[in-house]
Amino acid sequence: MAAELGHLAQGAATILCLLIFLVAPFDSRAQARISDEMSSSLVALQQLRYLDLSSNYFNGASIPVSVGSLENLRYLNLSMSGFVGKIPSQLGNLSNLKYLDVAGGTNDLHALDLAWLSHLSLLSYVDLSGVNLLTVRDWFHMPEGALHLSHCEWHGPIPEQLANMTSLEVIDFRANDLVGLIPSNLQNLCSLKVLNFDDNNIDLSIGEFMDRLPWCSWSTLQKLSMQNTTMTGNLPLEVGALGNLTLLSLGNNRLDGVLVKEHFSGLLNLEYLDLWDNSLKMDIEQNWVPPFRLKHINLESCTVGPRFPEWLRWQTRIDYLLLGNTSLDDVIPDWFWVTFSQASALDASENMLHGSLPSNLQHMATISIGLESNNLTGLVPRLFPINITSLDLSSNSFSGSLPAELKAPQIFMLSLGDNKITGTIPSSMCQLTSLARLDLSRNRLTGDVVQCWKESNHSSSVSRANSAHQFGSRMYSIDLNNNGLSGEFPKFLLSASRLMFLDLSYNRFFGTLPKWLPEKMPELEILSVRSNMFSGCIPKNHTCLEKLYYLDMAQNNISGNIPWSLSNLKAMRVIYKNVTDYVYEDSMLVITKGQTRDYTFEAFSLVVNLDLSCNSLTGHIPEEISLLIGLTSLDLSSNQLTSNIPNKIGDLKQLQSLDLSNNKFSGEIPLGLSALTYLSYLNLSYNILSGPIPSGPQLQTLDNQIDIYIGNPGLCGHPLSNNCSTSTNGEQSVHHEDEDHIVYLYLGMSIGFGVGLWTVFCTMLLRRTWAIAYFQIIDKLYDEVYVRVAITWAGLMKKAHNDAT
């Protein structure tokens, strides 16, 4: 007994040491030591039956080979723990193992063969998800039971060896590159409960695929999931015979055809229905009462309307209802707000729903409501669901003022943009301290933006110190563009240290741009203050906004020089930028290439923009601007900029749009412009540029060629009519100008000569000998001048005649 207690004490001490070891911090130099120390610790645990090391971080260590010596293990979980390298085949010694999970998630683990699995006769669950099995060919040694092999880099057909695993209940082959039909020899797989082929490349008719399912499993199958598998064809009616099916997920395929009630009549236990992003049309009678009670339904981008489906009225257990872009053209029925009052998420966006919303939604438990892009009218609901975190009513026709009392303490996203909302922003907005995204753009709001910062400054010292609970402290996106808002730059932004997107454009804000932006908003990536009344100089410290890649200050009263330190904007100095994972907006209007374009976020993330147009900037373009090599659009038009266009502007190889029009630039156009191979829009009009227009294949492909250079009378060459493409024409022009000068020179000489001659003649009258000598000289000079003038005059007359003809 004492000996057994001693062994227990020793084992307990070893386990304690192991636990302490697992939570200790690691560094890269300790990688080999980690594996060695773990191996020596595990060897002492011979009686261990349960070992769970999941979700730790072993800093790239190998799975200890000594794990294979723990012969009494029943449960082994090494998943998501930072192990790398080869899975040791010694795990095949664990003859009592029933549960094995070594899922990695990043393919850092790999296996050369899986033959050792055949020794684990009691194994009923194995998860190798995320393990690289690219070179494995003998995986048919897998045990029976649950088989999880997702994200394993598999390519090719679905293996026929599945037929040997007659007791399989779970087949999870998600996120591989499997192609084609399931094998035809699976008729003995009568225990199947879960079949998941999501994110593969099946690329066949769903009817053919389902014909290969073993008929004996149709009564046992509970979950059938084949999202994003490029499946085609009509959904067979036989799917309605899968009586125990709780989940049917076929979203993001190429299915078509009409769905009728017979597709669902036998699905008595169905809880999860996902058919999104197919070309399916639901044609079900309004009075149909479904046999199931769904918890989750996603029919996005299928055709459900135009009538709002009445059969949904019976789905009182719904947690997620997703009906976006389903061709609904109806009023939202009154029962909708009662039937789905306990749902977590309701989405019926991008339809043609009309009518108004209830003024009071406070009774609902919903945390997310999406009704954007419809034709809804009336007032914004006065009372929101108390637990709401996301409310999107944008792109409708809501009118009236915002609710005076905004009570939604947990709201994370509030989007009311693109409506007809009037009045001011209520002070109760300051209570929404959890807001991360606020969109009130494209409305008719007026007045000063609520100064929540001032309120907090008058509150207790505790609240002032705890800036994390101030309005704006959690925001990453604020869009107030296209309203009638006024006042100075909003001071509540002093607490917006996480802000990445700020759009104040098309309002009536005035005053100077604050110098505190880099300090208070260091994460800022996009800043637009276009079309306001801001004045003063561009603050030089704005160039410390290292993540800023979109800056639009156009159409203000900004003066002074362009700071050379703009070249310090690091995010504009790289060609490939790291874009945040957050989606600021669904889309954004961008002024580029002489047009207003609506960019989706995916396209907008490729834009690197600097727009200082339509201000009162003076001085020259600093040469350092050529360091912003990531720029795709540069607009300095309609200012008072002078001097030459920098030669190094040709270094901006990513430029697609360049507008320097309506300034006072002089000198020649830099030759480097012809090397901008991505350039599709150029405007140099109305400056004082001179000399030949550079030639180049890219410049010649641009549209509206003459408009690019109009208003620069000193320019010549294609596409202008003033041709300077050859030196001959230039020499003729110079020669013509010189001849004009010679004519005037000779005319002046002749007049002077006459006056001088008359003076001398009068003098000669006094002395006869002087007169004789003088006239002899005059006769000689006269002959020479006469001949030269006659020749010159004849040449001029001949040229004038040629020009006239």
- Distance in angstroms (rounded) separating the CA atoms of residues 323 and 343: 14
Residue 38 is predicted with a pLDDT of: 63
The tens digit of pLDDT for each residue in 698-752 reads: 888 898 889 999 999 999 998 998 888 553 344 444 444 444 444 444 445 555 5
Residue 366 is predicted with a pLDDT of: 97
Residue 770 is predicted with a pLDDT of: 46
Give helix then strand counts, H and E, for the chain.
12, 48
The tens digit of pLDDT for each residue in 475-485 reads: 999 999 999 99
Residues of the chain above pLDDT 90, percent: 56
**Helix pair angle (727-764, 768-804), 10° resolution:** 160
- Distance in angstroms (rounded) separating the CA atoms of residues 397 and 414: 16
Whether 768 shows a pLDDT value over 70: the answer reads no
Q: Minimal CA–CA distance to 120: which of 148, 102, 155, 96? A: 96
In single-letter form, the type of residue at position 68 comes to G
* Strand 595-600 versus strand 587-592 pairing type: antiparallel
Classify the phi-psi angles of 349: left when phi > 0, otherwise alpha if psi is within -120 to 50, otherwise beta.
Answer: beta
CB atoms within 10 A of CB 343: 22
User: Which residues, other chains included, contact 773 with Cβ-Cβ below 8 Å and sequence gap of 6+?
Assistant: none
**Tokens linked to 280:** 């399916």
- Distance in angstroms (rounded) separating the CA atoms of residues 499 and 478: 8
Mean per-residue pLDDT, 311-334:
96
Mean per-residue pLDDT, 297-317:
95
pLDDT-derived band at 565, boundaries 50, 70, 90:
very high
- Distance in angstroms (rounded) separating the CA atoms of residues 616 and 556: 8
Residue 118 is predicted with a pLDDT of: 81
Mean of the per-residue pLDDT values for the chain? 84
Give 437's strand partners. Answer: 413, 477
Mean per-residue pLDDT, 343-365:
97
Residue 526 is predicted with a pLDDT of: 92
Residue 760 is predicted with a pLDDT of: 46
The tens digit of pLDDT for each residue in 434-463 reads: 999 999 999 999 999 877 765 444 444 434
Domains of the chain with bracketed CATH = 21-122 (3.80.10.10)
- Distance in angstroms (rounded) separating the CA atoms of residues 479 and 460: 30
Higher pLDDT, 80 or 468: 80
Whether 145 shows a pLDDT value over 60: the answer reads yes
pTM of the model: 0.81
Report how far apart, in Å, the C-alpha atoms of 28 and of each of 82, 286, 632 are: 12, 65, 40
Among 105-114, 203-212, 615-624, 752-761, the range scoring the smallest mean pLDDT is 752-761
Report how far apart, in Å, the C-alpha atoms of 201 and of each of 84, 156, 175 are: 28, 9, 9
User: Which residues, other chains included, contact 608 with Cβ-Cβ below 8 Å and sequence gap of 6+?
Assistant: 549, 550, 571, 572, 577, 628, 630, 631, 632, 633, 654
